[in-house]
Each structure stands twice: as C-alpha cells, then as structure tokens.
Structure 1
Amino acid sequence: DLSPQSFSFNSPIGMCQECNGLGYKIEVDPNLVVPHPEKSIRDGAIALWSDSVVEGEGWDGALVTSLISQFNINTNIPWRELPEDHKNIILYGTGNQKMRVNFTSKIEKNEWTFYSSYQGIINRLRKKFHETQSEKARLWYSQFMREMNCGVCNGTRLKAEYRNVFVDKKSILNVCELPIIEVHNFFKNITLSGNSKLIASEVLKEVLQRTGFLLDVGLNYLTLNRRAPTLSGGESQRIRLASQIGSELSGVMYILDEPSIGLHQRDNTRLLNSLKHLRDLGNTVIVIEHDEETIRSADHIVDFGPGAGVNGGKIVVSGNIKQITNNNQSITGSYLSKRSYIEIPDKLRKAGKDTISIINATENNLKIPEVSFPLNLFICVTGVSGAGKSSLINNVLVPGINRVLNNSVDIPGKHEKIIGIENIDKLINIDQKPIGKSSRSNPATYTKVYDCIREFYSNLPESKIRGYNAGRFSFNVKGGRCETCEGAGSILIEMHFLPDVYVECEVCKGKRFNDNTLDVVYKGKNIADILDLTVLEAYNLFENIPRIKNILKTLIDVGMDYVKIGQSSTTLSGGEAQRIKLSRELSKKQTGKTLYVLDEPTTGLHFDDIKKLLKVLHFLVDSGNTVIVIEHNLDVIKTADYIIDLGPEGGEKGGLVIYSGTPDKIIKCKKSYTGQYLKNVLNR
C-alpha cells in the first residue's frame, strides 16, 4: 500500500537502501585521480603517481613498472588517447590476474621476484580511506573523492517502486525537478474526477497555497529538490519567510537581515508585498537593509551612523522617508535625496580585440552556444534570479580558467571549450568567504602589513639592545607571546553540553604578548596597542613609513578605514572580508593581464561603500585588467563598460544570453528586465 512515507527519502519505507536516502555516496572520482588527461603518464597525468613511481623506484614503482610492461601501456601519449582497457586496468586493477613483479631494495640491493595482482588506484584509495584511523590521512585521501550519484537510485533518493508512481504522467521526481512556478501551475491545472478529486481537494489546496507563498517571496526559479546547502543566505531567509506568511500569525515581531540579497529588482517588489502582508496581519517587521526600494517602502526608518565602526553606533535620525532625506547628518538621506550619488562614467572604455569566449555552455539550465567577455573592461553579468549567472561564471568560467592557469583539480560545469585564456596570466576570484581559517587571522596578517610592522618594531633601538627579531612580535610563535593563552588573548572553556565560551586571559589581560615584549614602544604604543588601532589610526601613526602606509592606504581605499587591524576575521562580515581581499590585490604590483571575478560584491554595502568599491574596481580596469561582476545593483550596472544579461526568466526558462553590449543599448532590449529597470536609473 502507498502512503506519504513511501515518497519520503527521510523514511525507511521510501528511502533508497544503498545511500540511505542521500542520493549520493562519497566515492573516488576518476577525474580527480587523473586531473590532466591532456598529459601523458610520464608527464604527470595521474595525480598519485610521482616521477619516481613511474620510473620504478620503491615498492609502488616496481608494481607500476610491471603493470606498464606486461600490459604494454604507452606512457608517452596523452591519457585521453589510451585504450579504455588500459585506463580501466590502471584505475580499477587487474582483478584476479597476477603479474610478475621484480623488486630491488634500495639499501641492501637485494632482488626479489614475486607474483601479484594489481589493486588499481581507485580501489586502493577507497580501501585506505575507509580503513585509516588518522584524520590527517583521511583528509588527504578526500581530495580525490567527491559526492557522486548513488548507483542504485541514480541520485533520486527513493526506491524504484516509488519512483514509478505517476500522477498525470509525472512521477514525484519529475515534479521535484520543476521550478516552483511550474510546480504551482502543474497542480493548478491537474485534472481529477470522482473519488480522486474528493480525496485530493484539501491536499491540492494546501500545495497551491504553499507554492504560492514561495512565489510571493521571489523564489519562482528554485526547484523543489534543490539541496539546502546550495541556497544563498537570502534564499534561505525567504523560504523561512514564506512559511511564516502561511502561518497567518499576528502579534509577532519578524527580524530579517538583508532579505533582498541575490534578488533582481523585478522580484524585489513581490518580496516587499509579502513583508507588507505580514505587517497588515498585525505583526512588526524589522528589516536590516541597504536596498533603496526597501528603504523607501518602510513606514519608519532608523538610520545609524554617522560613519562606520568606531565612527558610528549612534542613531542619526529616526523617522519617515522625508525626515531621513531632509537630515544633513544622514549619509543615507543624502543618497536618497540625490544630494550624493554614484556617477555614470562620462565615457565608456572601448572593447579591444582580445576576448575570452565560452563555447556551448550547458551546465544546469544554461543553453549558450557562445558568449564572449571582452578584456580590459568592467563587465557586469546580470539577469533575474535563477537565470544562470552563477552557473556561467562560478561553475564554468572560473574553474575552467583555473584548470588551465593554476592546474586546479576542480571540474568545470558542462561546456565544450573556453577560448582566449592565453590572453590573461592570472585569475583572482574575490569571494565573501572568511579571510583565514581561524580566529587568529585578522586584516593585518591577511594583508601582510603585520609582517612590515613586526619588522619595523624589531628595528627600534630598544629591540636592538634586547636582541629581539621580528618573530618576537608574533602572537603565533613562542618568544614574545603570552604562553598562558598562546597568543590568543583569550582562553577557551569547554562547556560540554553548551556552546564553548572564550574568556579573557588573566595573565596578559587580552593583550596576547608578555610584558617584556610590550616594553618596546613606538610613539607611546606597544605592539598590542597597534593591533587595537583602526586602519585610519594606524595609517596616521605610520605616515612616515612608506611600506606600512601604502598597504594601509589600500584598506582605506576600499572603505575599511574603520576596522581594527587586529580584529578577528571571524567577526568580519562577508562584504568586509571581500573588500579586505580586494585591498590585498591592490597592494600588489599590477601586471595588467589579470581577470578579477566578484559575485555580488555589494552585498551588505551602503550606497557610500558601493561608491568606494566602484572606484577601486575601475582603478583595476584602468590598470589594464578585466573585472567581471555578477550583480543586481543598478548603481553598479550603470557604470559598466559591458553588460551580459541572462534570462529571460529563471530556471528552465532562463539560461540564454538576452543581451550583450553597452548599458545605453540594453534599455532598448524589450526582453531584458534588467534593461527596463536600468532605463529609469539612466534617465534619472
């Protein structure tokens, strides 16, 4: 008998028994084992076979030499040209077939001959991964493994008998693969009669209501089977919002942090209508937001400032839109009233002859025969949510170029080829991931300005007398740091059943260094005091030290003058981390042949911060580089030299290049939603 549990991959009744309803298994990926199929075995096609192994050194070398010899494997032609049976022998072994192996010990020079089968790289890796007790070894093996579709359910997560139940010619899998807008339409137009209609009426009503809520918050392009970890913060937030709209509660306070992230202007209007609906039910909705349309739609606005970081923290004005725009102290009001604004460039840069082109991109919903990115320009990739921007740039372009320039093992999304990579010498993908892997990382260490500061302190007279070197002023090594907290400034207290707590170190009082190290001062400030300075304060202190001053200047240029140089990376927002990464690139010598890629860099940024960011991005282009930005923000798009607009819709109805060219011409493209909204901005 069928039950709802039959169609649930979380239930033992419906889940695939092989993968326990996950749809995937962690398996060795042949593409990661052989990351360079264009190379020969001798030239390093196989990641795990070093030169010494191929040359026959050691136990592994003896096995490999015998394998190559007895099966007559050509090690001098590209891997992709090898016969399939030779590839299978190397990857999956010889089975029960044994081969003669000659082994000579390196030290004793003794020779042995024995007969052995060959396990195969993939079988051996899989065995080692599951048998090892070492986390370090497991981590090393995992670089050759990835999530791969379960061989039994083919990634569908359900048992075969439940995958083959159809309603109106569609299985539950077919329905879950559809974008939410199509799911809504499917159930809206479904034809049932008699008892079926009677039984399903309440269920259909509930399905239509819930999919309707998801449509109202601008998630029409998402598929129902989309995995939660792949959702952006804004998408996750809007899904939770949709469930709240459906609850019809009143007297509740809802707090949302930038719900417009990743949302096209077209979809933003629907989101705002949903928020107003919550308000009209008798709830209070508090939204942290930089989006102009959202701010203008608010009943009441609380504007913080006047600056950022230590220069902010005060309520500049609290009131309606008119009170904000009339307040001269409010930077937000200044932009809303257009007293301040982001200028449209007087002249666009002209595209040169060099381009990078992607041929036949078909990853996810992409259907692009060819798309070209002219070099030495500021390029915006635009389109409604779910149109395929991230698929094109993050899944195809970036890993495709990385594979060629940096020998990356990341496999790019489906495409035929990328032409013109030889026109650049470097790819920098500036994302919003944290700057460092631990709380010890901070803006000073990440930008390398701290190396200069430590060297400077080691050259002060007091340091010379005491024999201190630059390492003395590091909180990561023994010598100058406080050994009680090992330079962390705080002690971790494990709470077992509660979250761990950090308390200030009682010995150094959070200063990280021992007293002897803190005796060395410059202009009255020791090394701990330096780490507690904001970027601007440090810039003024070291104004006569060019090496330090120049790096700090790049942080100021990207609008990070307010952060403390020793502030832990774990306390920085994604936008702040991205700008710090950008500043590090600015401090490097410009080669003029670098491609910079940024995915929605305006996330979490105020109008004034966007203005500073654009100044930096245009500086990079003026230095001869190329900048590609995925963006919804119209203030950024209007300053682009070149726009590639994807659409026309999200999901299955997207994935096409609707327009490519200059901003002044996209406004004439009737298919482009971006062009329609940009028209108002350019006319303004």
Structure 2
Amino acid sequence: MQPNSVPDASVAPNLRGGFVRVRGARENNLRNVDVDVPRDAIVAFTGVSGSGKSSLAFGTIFAEAQRRFFESVAPYARRLIQQGHTPHVDEITGLPPAVALQQRRGTPSSRSSVGTVTTLSNSLRMLFSRAGLYPADTAGRLESDSFSPNTAMGACPQCHGLGMAHTVTEASLVPDPSLSIRDGAIEAWPGAWQGKNLRDILIELGYDVDTPWRHLDRTTRDWILFTEEQPVVQVTPQRDRIAKPYQGRFWSAKSYVLHTLADSKSQSVRARVLRYVETGPCPLCGGAGLRPDALAVTFAGQNIAQLNSLPMSQLVGVLKSGADSSEVAGTITADLGRRIDVLLDLGLGYLSLGRPTPTLSPGEMQRLRIATQLRSGLFGVIYVLDEPSAGLHPADAEPLLVVLEQLKLSGNSVFVVEHNMQVVAQADWVIDVGPRAGEGGGVVLYSGPTAGLADVPASVTRDYLFPAHPSAPGAARILREPSDWLTLHGITRHNLRGLDAEFPLGVLTAVTGVSGSGKSTLVSQVLAEAVGERLHPGAEATPAEDDAADTAITAGEDDTEGTEARVEPDEGVTVEHIDGLDAVDRLVRVDQKPIGRTPRSNLATYTGLFDAVRVAFAATDAAKSRGFGAGRFSFNVVGGRCPTCLGEGSVAVGLLFLPGSYAPCPECRGSRYNPETLEVTYRGKTVADVLGLTVDAAAEFLVDVASAARSLATLREVGLGYLRLGQPATELSGGEAQRIKLATELQRARRGHTLYLLDEPTTGLHPADVELLLAQLNRLVDAGNTVVVVEHDMRVVAAADWVIDLGPSGGDAGGRIQVAGTPAHVAEHPTSATAPYLRAALPR
C-alpha cells in the first residue's frame, strides 16, 4: 500500500462496522494524511517515537470527537469544562463519540486510593450508610460522606483523615543531651542562620545556652522544646560585630518541626524534620482516618476500615456473606461484586481498596483505569488508549488483551497507540506511521490487516513484529563481570519484608517481575533512598530550580533537574545495613518526569547547549558593536526578549463562552525576541532561527561550537534528532524527557563509580528506539558505572549482564527474589513468570 493511501474496505471482510475516514490531517508533523480506520475493531497505531502516531490517534481523531461533543454542550456550560484544541484536518466522517485513556505521569495524591480511582469507595460508603448495622444509641443514619476520611464530615478530628499521628519527644528532639544548646543539642532546629537566631533569642530571654542540656532543669527544658508561646525580642548577636540588631520571634522545637511538616513545600526539608518525629497510627482512629461514629457502623461484622484493608479477592466473599441482610444491601453488593470481578480478571485481586495510589506500580494504575472503563457500560464509542500495556509484565499483558477484546465485543472500537509487539500482533488492523520521527515522519506507511505489514519494507515496525525479520539484542555478547557487590540487608517496605538483595557493580542489571511484585519499591524507593542517605547523610537538598533563567542549570552542574539524585530517607523504609557502599561515589536517578514546569524550559536550556549558542551570538561583530552580551540572547531576561509576550512567543486569547486559546505574539510573531536582538545573526541565522532548528539540523549548523556540538551529538545518539531546540518542555513525552536527561548525563566528564537507576526506561519507546537506549546504557557501564533498570521489555532484560526476578505474584504474594543470575540462568527457572518470556527473547 502506498503512503497515505485509503484502504479498500474489501481487504477486511470481517470488519463490518464501517470506517472513520480522515482526510487532510496536518496535526503536528502529519503530512496531509488521508486514512480510513475501521470501527468495531482493535486498531494499533505504530511507528517510531515521534513519528506522528499520537498526533493521528489523539491529536486528530480523539480531538475532533471531543470538539464535536463540546459543540453539543450549552455555550455557558463550556466555560466550566477544560476543552481541547481544534485539530488541523480537512474532514473526518464516520466518527462516533470517543473516550481517551492517556498515560498519567503526575504524582498522585497521598489521599488517592484504589477505591477512589475505581470509584468502588463511593459504593462501599453508600453500603455502610444505607445498609450498615448501627449501634443502638445512634440518633440516625450517617451520610455516605461520613465514611470518607477525605471529607470534613468524615475525617478524624485528631489526624485530619491522614490516619497517622506525628508526635515529638525530648529524646527525638535532643538525641545527645550531653551537648549544650550552643553546641547543637536541639538537633531538630534548622542549621545555619535560623538555628543561631533561635539560640540568640534564648540568650536575650535569659536562658543558659552553654550548660549541657541534661543539667538544665525540667521546666526550662520543657519550655524550650514544647511551649506554644512565640515571644518577640530585640536580638543583639553575641559573637558577630558586623550583624545588626533585629527583632526575633522564638519558636519551640516542637512548633518548628510540626509547622515544617504541615507547610513546607520542600520534600527534602520535610524528610529532614521527620527524623525528629515519632510517627505512628493515630490513637483516636487507629490509623483509619475516620471519626469514631463512622467506625462504629459495621457490615457483615466489620467496619469500613477493615473492609478497605482486605484484598479484593477476600472482600468479595465478605460482601456476599452480608448481601441477604436487606434489599438495599443485596443491590449494592451485587454491583460491587460485578465491578470487582473485572479487577480480579486483570490479576489485581491482591490489592485492597484502601491501598494508596502512590504505592502502586505504573502497570497496576494502568489496569485500574482500564477496568473502570470496561465497567462503564458504554456502547458504540471509540476508546483511544495510550500504550495500555505500559508498565505491564508480559504475563500481565495477556489478560489485558482479553479486556480489549471484551471492549470490542461490547460494540466499541479500540484504537491503541502501542509499542508492545505482543499487543500489536493481536490487533485486527495496523496503521504504521513513519518512516522516521519528526519532520522525517508524518506519513501513513501502511493501513490494513496486521499480517499485511510484513510486505512493507519502509516500515521499521515490521522488523520487530514478524519472526521473519528478527532483531535480537545481545547476540554473541560477552557478559561483563561485576567489579564488586552492593548488598542491602533486612529491607522492609510495602511487600518487601526482611529481604536481602545483592546488586552487582560495574554491570547492567535488570530487575523484573510481574506488576506489583515489588520491583519499583526495591529500586526506585529502597535502593535510591538508602544509598542516597548514606552518601549524603542529613543533607538538606534544595530542589533544582526551573531552568527558565538560563543560568546555573547546565549539563555540568549537579543540580540539573531530574538527574542528580538527592534522596532523603522515607519513614516507611527500613534497611538494616548496607555492604559495598564504598565502591559507589554518586547516585543518579533518570526518570520520566518533565524536564521543566513551564513552556520557557526547553531542550536547549535544559541540556545547557543554549549557553554556548548565546555565547556564540555575543561573540559576533554585530553583537560587540551594539554592546550585547550573552544575556541579551536569552528570551527569559529583560533586554533581549519581546516586551509584549515577555519571551513566551504567544499571547492568551480569551473568548466569551469558548475555551481560551493562544495565538502567536503579534509583536514578535512567535520569535520571542525584540527586533534589535534579531538584527544580530550567526552564520546568517537569528537566535530565534536556531531555536527553530531540529537537533539534526543544528548538529550541522553548530558544528564549530564545540560544547553545543557535543550535546547535539549525544541527543542524536539517543534518537532525539527530530526534536526542535526550542520545543517547550511541556510538549515532550515522558520517554523523550527521560532520554534528554540521559543525554545530559552522558555529556558529563565523569569517570565511573556512579550508580544509575532507571524505572521502566523503555516506556513510550519503539523497539528501534530501545536499541538506541541500550547502546547508551552500555556506554555508561563500559565507563565503569553501574546501571540498574526496572524493566518489562524482555529485549532489555536479555541484553543485561545480571537479572533479579521478583515474585512470584503481586502484592502480598510477591516481594521475594525468585531467582537472580545471568539472563540465561533466569530463563531456565521453573517457576518464574519471567522465565518463558525471557527464554523466547534470548538469541538462539
């Protein structure tokens, strides 16, 4: 089939639902695409990362369906709904309503739980409200909100619904009573100036700060540590003739600690003061977070907190046992049972409704959202799913395929943007976009039944989908030998209980296991926090600032956002001791969080290469004659930027009864700079022109700018040559952000002994891009570093030197190391869920 051609419906005689016909799609990099997508089928959109498949599935088809829905809503009501954009497309016909299920990479709230995500908690609260057994002295039935710790009506008055109580004692605030206050006896106080301030206030109040703490009388000690008073005094610094007198307010150690926990936005500062707090279940609610009167109501002999703590596989039985207690109970429990059955079918029966979502793996969260959609009962809609297999072990992907088939059999269309060839192979239809990324993509190479893709030589996907075109990484590879071992003893966190784990140093290690088996807990939480704390004990790390100012955050600085790991201990982590830490000098986590929080942050500013670009412009004769320094060429600094849009390049346009939108700035026409700055050129291009270049084009244009050329070469090596230098960080996918961080790290002139941690780095990557990623990870290892990846992609696992497989299942049935060893050794393990899939991926 020719690129962008429209398929003949006769090639798919089993697809009788008609087609969604797209004509002239030009969203992002799509090149005037015409394509017909069958309804009532599972359709996989494939292609290398950045090829345009998401622009077609989400940016065009779903966006148009959403636009049409909003047009049916009353104009006033539209203002209350967050609306999407109008896609660049000539025409779409045959388009039913659509529902999107996209990847969510934000950090979930600690108050969010399995029950709230699936909305099962709503029904359970209604069950207790209307069918629960109340104590005899209860005045009347409670409202359903009274059974939620997230409402003012239901939250425990002592812990405010959190279930945990923070208490401070003299022993926690003053760990060494032999010290005086001047010598730091009150260790919980902040360091540096603020701590000295509190000490000097005590001196002005007449307290002895030089006597050992234990020799002070009880009344004095209690007032300093626990008073609620906050006296303000005139302070004259005792040992600093330069400092001027000032008005100082005293805070007791208890007040300082609890105030910091409640109000500080810095996770590192909060983690520091947690070390001086004794944390445990709230004594009033026992950790449930609910008021006593709500906890007094029972169903089937248990209160709602007890039911919330049960695995769903057990919860079903309890609900059935109380279903006959009343007609209302029978109705609600029957609905709960049907909805829970879907979660059991997806292998999530080990989860409890009260399990906080921050403790879930990405695969668990993905399946929860899919199960919720499956039970919605919609008919005749298009489900547009963004990598539904993301975060799933190959064994977990199989029940997912059953769920997708059920959605189709329920009369819906299922469009999936997918890189997992296990899922693509089961699709009824494939739309392959490419051939490359960015400006080199945007063309439909093939649209038709899955088997037909084997006859499309231009498709990169073909080589990974069909056995006739194998590409197995790691063939004829000599495994690297560990230079040392890092051993963690007595690990306790979530479903890891007293676990000992050995990580070889100087090699590439893959940590595997089914979703929920404890992989992310072991690596991204325990290993990161324990090693980070021991490398930098007690460090009060300041979170990296956004790089919008084009100043300190460069590739050579340790505070580059998202790379250098600055980890504080979590109160829920226990590691008895660590051996082998002397062989590790540095810890780096490379995750998929955004590289910036605003559109002002972009690839050029994050990697630091824009610094070199600005210096190159400042060195031109035109810039020198005008007195322009490098700062003049920053769009974030007054002087060079456009005064109308303040360097944004666009301005907000408010429309009555319609969603607000953005338009190019009428003054600078989107360039971000004022006319005087744009008069300066470097090799015929303005600084705005350079920001508009792709990485590939910039690598040729800036070949003489050494530091920029190094950054660009590394970005190309990780497969990001299609990105524009000025592309806003907010437009980048999680996979792209992770590879930018990795490229930034690869630029650093460091030698060995660094521990790199990556959690599912292949998420969002086409198999061809995975090979590029593997090459860069191997570069890090060959330089004497250690790389540990949590991974489900068996190609990556097969290419590792060492594998640690957790299991045997998820939740309480997991958290144990099933087998550890070389990929070939793990592949032969008789009970490992990973073994058969790894065996198939190993070269023969």
> TM-score w.r.t. structure 1 length?
0.86
Asked if the contact 2:257/2:273 (under 8 Å) is kept, the reply is no
SS in 2 for 1:676: helix
* Residues 1:65 and 1:650: Cα distance change in structure 2 (over 3 Å): farther
Matched, 1:62 2:194: no
For the residues of structure 1 that align with 2:620 and 2:509, how far apart are their CA atoms?
Answer: 47
For the residues of structure 2 that align with 1:38 and 1:611, how far apart are their CA atoms?
Answer: 57
Deviations 1:577-615 (A, max 9, x none): 000000001111131111110111111110111010011
SS in 2 for 1:212: helix
Matched, 1:472 2:641: no
Asked if the contact 2:492/2:498 (under 8 Å) is kept, the reply is yes
Cα RMSD between the aligned structures?
A: 4.1
For the residues of structure 2 that align with 1:619 and 1:537, how far apart are their CA atoms?
Answer: 25
* Residues 1:67 and 1:184: Cα distance change in structure 2 (over 3 Å): farther
* Residues 1:414 and 1:475: Cα distance change in structure 2 (over 3 Å): same
Matched, 1:483 2:655: no
SS in 2 for 1:92: helix
SS in 1 for 2:375: helix
- How far residue 659 of structure 1 moved from its aligned partner, in angstroms, is 1.0
* Residues 1:406 and 1:63: Cα distance change in structure 2 (over 3 Å): farther
- 1:156 corresponds to: 288
For the residues of structure 2 that align with 1:14 and 1:53, how far apart are their CA atoms?
Answer: 38
SS in 2 for 1:66: coil
Identity of aligned pairs, percent? 36
- How far residue 651 of structure 1 moved from its aligned partner, in angstroms, is 0.6
* Residues 1:202 and 1:233: Cα distance change in structure 2 (over 3 Å): same
- 2:373 corresponds to: 244
- 1:557 corresponds to: 717
- How far residue 144 of structure 1 moved from its aligned partner, in angstroms, is 6.4
For the residues of structure 1 that align with 2:169 and 2:518, how far apart are their CA atoms?
Answer: 27
- 2:397 corresponds to: 268
- How far residue 191 of structure 1 moved from its aligned partner, in angstroms, is 4.9
- 2:816 corresponds to: 656
Matched, 1:280 2:409: yes
The 5 A counterparts of 1:488-527 are 488-493=648-653, 501-527=661-687
Code of the residue aligned with 1:623 in structure 2: it is: A
Unaligned runs of 5+ in 1: 76-82
- 1:294 corresponds to: 423
Asked if the contact 2:202/2:209 (under 8 Å) is kept, the reply is no
- 1:355 corresponds to: 485
For the residues of structure 2 that align with 1:261 and 1:38, how far apart are their CA atoms?
Answer: 52
* Residues 1:137 and 1:345: Cα distance change in structure 2 (over 3 Å): closer
- How far residue 161 of structure 1 moved from its aligned partner, in angstroms, is 4.5
For the residues of structure 1 that align with 2:504 and 2:629, how far apart are their CA atoms?
Answer: 49
For the residues of structure 2 that align with 1:531 and 1:205, how far apart are their CA atoms?
Answer: 59
For the residues of structure 2 that align with 1:35 and 1:236, how far apart are their CA atoms?
Answer: 42
SS in 2 for 1:357: strand
Matched, 1:93 2:253: no
Matched, 1:364 2:494: yes
Code of the residue aligned with 1:446 in structure 2: it is: Y
For the residues of structure 1 that align with 2:627 and 2:376, how far apart are their CA atoms?
Answer: 69
Code of the residue aligned with 1:605 in structure 2: it is: L
For the residues of structure 2 that align with 1:631 and 1:90, how far apart are their CA atoms?
Answer: 53
> Which of residues 693, 699, 707 in structure 2 aligns to 1:533?
693
Asked if the contact 2:438/2:722 (under 8 Å) is kept, the reply is yes
SS in 2 for 1:597: strand
- 1:623 corresponds to: 783
- How far residue 165 of structure 1 moved from its aligned partner, in angstroms, is 5.4
- How far residue 119 of structure 1 moved from its aligned partner, in angstroms, is 5.1
> Which of residues 474, 498, 512 in structure 2 aligns to 1:344?
474
For the residues of structure 1 that align with 2:346 and 2:363, how far apart are their CA atoms?
Answer: 10
Deviations 1:615-642 (A, max 9, x none): 1001110111000101111111110101
> Which of residues 123, 126, 135 in structure 1 aligns to 2:255?
123
- 1:318 corresponds to: 447
Asked if the contact 2:177/2:212 (under 8 Å) is kept, the reply is no
* Residues 1:423 and 1:52: Cα distance change in structure 2 (over 3 Å): same
For the residues of structure 1 that align with 2:265 and 2:765, how far apart are their CA atoms?
Answer: 41
* Residues 1:50 and 1:279: Cα distance change in structure 2 (over 3 Å): closer
Asked if the contact 1:530/1:538 (under 8 Å) is kept, the reply is yes
* Residues 1:496 and 1:435: Cα distance change in structure 2 (over 3 Å): farther
Deviates more, 1:596-605 or 1:404-413: 404-413
Matched, 1:374 2:504: yes
* Residues 1:18 and 1:275: Cα distance change in structure 2 (over 3 Å): same
> Which of residues 290, 307, 315 in structure 2 aligns to 1:183?
315
- How far residue 661 of structure 1 moved from its aligned partner, in angstroms, is 0.9
Asked if the contact 2:199/2:209 (under 8 Å) is kept, the reply is no
- How far residue 213 of structure 1 moved from its aligned partner, in angstroms, is 0.7
Asked if the contact 2:512/2:519 (under 8 Å) is kept, the reply is yes
Deviations 1:494-536 (A, max 9, x none): 6799765433211111101112211222232111000000000
- 2:334 corresponds to: 205
Asked if the contact 1:55/1:61 (under 8 Å) is kept, the reply is no
Asked if the contact 2:188/2:253 (under 8 Å) is kept, the reply is no
Asked if the contact 1:360/1:370 (under 8 Å) is kept, the reply is yes
Matched, 1:403 2:533: yes
Code of the residue aligned with 2:501 in structure 1: it is: V
Asked if the contact 1:56/1:65 (under 8 Å) is kept, the reply is no
- 2:24 corresponds to: none
* Residues 1:566 and 1:342: Cα distance change in structure 2 (over 3 Å): farther
- 1:572 corresponds to: 732
For the residues of structure 1 that align with 2:224 and 2:211, how far apart are their CA atoms?
Answer: 16
Asked if the contact 2:178/2:213 (under 8 Å) is kept, the reply is no
- How far residue 262 of structure 1 moved from its aligned partner, in angstroms, is 1.1
For the residues of structure 2 that align with 1:587 and 1:39, how far apart are their CA atoms?
Answer: 48
Asked if the contact 2:176/2:185 (under 8 Å) is kept, the reply is no
Aligned length: 662
> Which of residues 72, 83, 89 in structure 1 aligns to 2:213?
72
The 5 A counterparts of 1:414-493 are 414-493=574-653
Matched, 1:215 2:344: yes
Deviates more, 1:562-571 or 1:435-444: 435-444
* Residues 1:260 and 1:45: Cα distance change in structure 2 (over 3 Å): farther
Matched, 1:609 2:798: no
Deviations 1:537-596 (A, max 9, x none): 000112233222111001001111000011000000111000000000111113111111
- How far residue 467 of structure 1 moved from its aligned partner, in angstroms, is 2.5
SS in 2 for 1:362: strand
Code of the residue aligned with 1:411 in structure 2: it is: P
For the residues of structure 2 that align with 1:552 and 1:128, how far apart are their CA atoms?
Answer: 42
- 1:546 corresponds to: 706
- How far residue 252 of structure 1 moved from its aligned partner, in angstroms, is 1.9
For the residues of structure 1 that align with 2:384 and 2:337, how far apart are their CA atoms?
Answer: 26
- How far residue 208 of structure 1 moved from its aligned partner, in angstroms, is 2.5
- 1:672 corresponds to: 832
For the residues of structure 2 that align with 1:182 and 1:67, how far apart are their CA atoms?
Answer: 60
- 2:99 corresponds to: none
Code of the residue aligned with 1:159 in structure 2: it is: R
For the residues of structure 2 that align with 1:388 and 1:662, how far apart are their CA atoms?
Answer: 20
Asked if the contact 1:368/1:657 (under 8 Å) is kept, the reply is no
* Residues 1:363 and 1:469: Cα distance change in structure 2 (over 3 Å): same
* Residues 1:572 and 1:86: Cα distance change in structure 2 (over 3 Å): farther
- 1:225 corresponds to: 354
For the residues of structure 2 that align with 1:594 and 1:547, how far apart are their CA atoms?
Answer: 23
SS in 2 for 1:297: coil
Q: Which has the higher contact order (CA 8 A, sep 6+)?
A: 2
For the residues of structure 2 that align with 1:648 and 1:256, how far apart are their CA atoms?
Answer: 29
* Residues 1:668 and 1:67: Cα distance change in structure 2 (over 3 Å): farther
For the residues of structure 1 that align with 2:376 and 2:305, how far apart are their CA atoms?
Answer: 27
* Residues 1:431 and 1:137: Cα distance change in structure 2 (over 3 Å): closer
* Residues 1:519 and 1:156: Cα distance change in structure 2 (over 3 Å): same
> TM-score w.r.t. structure 2 length?
0.70
SS in 1 for 2:213: coil
